[in-house]
Structure 1
Amino acid sequence: MSAMLQERAGLPGPALLAGARCAVVANGSAGTLQRDPGLLPRLEEALERAGFSLVVRPPPEASLDEQWRLATEASPDVVFAFGGDGTLRAMAERAIAEGVTLALLPGGTMNRVCARLGLPQDPVAAAARYRPGRTRGLAVGFMNEHPFLFQSLLGKPVRLLRFREMQRGAGAAGWLPLLRAMLRKLLFLGRDRLTIVLPDGERLAGSVAVVTMPEPDGQPALTVEVARPRHAVSRIRQSWRWFRGRLSDDPEAASATAERLVAMGRTRSLRFSLDGEMMLAPIPLRFRLRPDALTILDPVPPP
């Protein structure tokens, strides 16, 4: 890390000085870049106007691993990560391991992590909200050794995420396979169950569980919501409430908060997602919260 990092009393983390060295790592397959090839140069211009000095420009068509290598070899004070929630999670994993400061920019299908930081959905407008200034620690959730920044979904509906990948760039017609798959999952309940074990030994059993990170300035605890539908109608209702972030309001759902929890299932492995990326791992799945695990550049409030 270069000398642009200077400790300042009274702030959560080190401060970046004017002219701070930066690099941008972008998901070249993100829909925003595919639709607008001139977006990345405009984003970089916004950062330079904001007082940053671009020290390297990794090609967006390169893999994330190669872009990260090129960026960090230049010893920037901050790396701007541009992409959806899954890309930001992947960049956060690298940043935590190497002690790199990140700045997050929206650029994918889902941008809920950036929305929680108060950033606009437009990437250039979001870039304009950054200035060399204070950094802060951001809480990160971990499933075993895998980090996540927003949410983890557990259970068979995670399979639907592969249909989301299929529809990208396909327009309205691309959503048809996803809608058909959703209806099959919602109308035919099956018998698959999972159990969430809380630190005090309480158990929450259901068909699907959602583990959500706290707000950036919220209480340091994970929120777990477990769907327990009795029939197809209640499953559709709970799915809609989960989509709106209101699953815990459903009378047939259970919820709790904890700094750590364990997920078990009837099979040897469980399907789950971390910030939209589908995975499979043997049980038990151990979730925990690590406050201030990731150092990020704080965006300035809107005028």
Structure 2
Amino acid sequence: MNRVIILVNPLSGGVGPQAAEEAEAILSVYDLEATVVTLEGAKIPDQIAEALDARPDVLFVLAGDGTARSVATRAGPKGPLIAPLPGGTMNMLPKALYGTGDWKLALRRALEEGAPQAVSGGVIEGEAFYCAAILGAPALWAPAREAMRTGKLKLAWMHGRRALRRAFSGHIRFSLDGGAKRRAEALVLISPMISKAMDEPVGLEAAAMTTSDAAQAFRLAAHALFDDWRHDASVTTQPARRITVWARSKIPAVIDGEPMLLGREASIRFLPRAFMALAPLPPAAEDSV
């Protein structure tokens, strides 16, 4: 590893105005040719393209969750190694790769302990995800939880009321790998990197939630995404490579921590090798080396 580029967006929530200088200071300790690029608003797409075209050995990304996903998606499995550092709000992908929300610690871990590893994931209507996607009414709780986390109580209340109004207005229907149509309150698709139910990247872990009342739905939604809700009697899981989801209205979703609204029908497929990351190997992989 000789040439590295780090893209820094100082305006992202978890970065800060001094991040570029701090990154330069950390990188100066290592025997590397390092370039630090400060991302600037409308120039960001071109700056990302230029960084990828430069073909560095590793492209670090210290920016929001959406920017990190965009860079990883554009790099693909044949692009340079990608190291998405925790600079966003949810930081689901960086935390899964580096086990920390501290970008400086993640940067050092990548440089000192990192090895190339394939990251699998999924793609839904052109949007890639590498950790998890929540489809259905419980996804509406995500904006409320985020507003509460940042202390915006009035906004949290507004989002919470909207979620309650829509939570039981309709179910979603889904099919796994061309199988029979099933109905659920929500469908959660979890990547092999995150899933505790799969030892090999054979597909996405599809977890169907079938709740019976508002209190139960709120309890499940209140748990962290990878908490113990999958052990609940109202949740069933199985691996799948192709998933189709239907609903009578547009489907609310949270993709790697980012809320969005899908159409009334959505198709999802498994990406066994979405991009190559520079990150410490999982303990099981280290033991096999």
TM range (shorter): 0.7 to 0.9
Q: 1:250 to 1:183 in 2, by over 3 A?
A: farther
Q: 8 Å contact 1:142–1:289 — kept in the other structure?
A: yes
- Counterpart mapping for 1:47-86 below 5 A: 47-55=27-35, 57-63=36-42, 64-86=44-66
Partner of 1:261: 243
Deviation at 1:157, TM superposition (A): 4.3
Equivalent of 1:131 in 111, 126, 131: 111
| Structure 1 unpaired stretches of 5+ | 1-15
| 1:103-125 superposed Cα distances (whole Å, 9 cap, x missing partner) | 12111111221222233221111
Amino acid at match of 1:142: V
Residue from 227, 232, 246 that aligns with 2:228: 246
1:187 Cα shift? 7.1
User: Which AA in structure 2 matches 1:228?
Assistant: T
Counterpart CA distance in 2 for 1:201 and 1:65 is 39
Q: 1:96 aligns to what?
A: 76
Match of 1:210 among 169, 188, 204: 188
Query: 1:26 and 2:8 equivalent?
Result: yes
SS of match in other structure, 1:58: strand
Computed over aligned residues only, the root mean square deviation of the Cα atoms, in angstroms, reads 3.0
Report the equivalent of 1:151.
Answer: 132
TM-score of the superposed pair, with normalisation by structure 1: 0.78
1:65–1:100: structure 2 CA closer, same or farther, 3 Å change rule? same
Contact 2:134/2:188, CA 8 A, preserved across alignment: yes
SS of 1:229 mapped into structure 2: coil
- Aligned-partner Cα distance in 1 for 2:282–2:138: 37
Paired residues of 2:207 and 2:236 also in contact (CA < 8 A): yes
Asked if residue 119 in structure 1 is aligned to residue 99 in structure 2, the reply is yes
The amino acid of 2:47's aligned partner reads: Q
Aligned AA (2:32): F
Deviations 1:267-294 (A, max 9, x none): 3x42323212333333432222222220
Comparing 212-221 and 134-143, the one that deviates more: 212-221
Question: 1:78-108: per-residue Cα shift (whole Å, max 9, x none)?
Answer: 2101234333212111111872321121111
The answer as to whether partners of 1:272 and 1:278 remain within 8 angstroms in 2 is: yes
Aligned to 2:213: 231
Task: Give how far 1:200 is off.
Answer: 5.6
Q: Give the conservation status (yes or no) of the 8 Å contact 1:25–1:60.
A: yes
Aligned-pair identity in percent equals: 25
**For 1:37-79, what per-residue CA distance to the aligned partner results, in whole angstroms no more than 9, with x for missing partners?**
2233212322332333213x32233443133134234442221
CA displacement 1:235-267 (0-9 Å, x = unmatched):
122212454533222222332222222111123
Which aligned pairs between 1:276-291 and structure 2 lie closer than 5 A?
276-291=257-272
TM-score by length of 2: 0.82
Counterpart contact for 2:5–2:59, Cα < 8 Å: yes
Structure 1 residue 26 displacement after superposition: 2.6
Q: Distance in 2 between matches of 1:141 and 1:244?
A: 17
User: How big is each residue's C-alpha offset from its partner over 1:147-172, in whole Å with a ceiling of 9 and x where there is no partner?
Assistant: 1111112124444555677779xx52
Q: Matched residues in 1 for 2:130 and 2:226: separation?
A: 18
Is contact 2:122-2:130 (8 Å) kept? yes
Task: Indicate whether 1:196 and 2:174 are aligned.
Answer: yes
Q: Distance in 1 between matches of 2:111 and 2:281?
A: 7
Corresponding position of 2:273: 292
The equivalent residue for 2:154 is 176
CA distance in 2, matches of 1:80, 1:201: 40
- Provide the aligned length of Structure 1 versus Structure 2: 277
SS in 2 for 1:205: strand
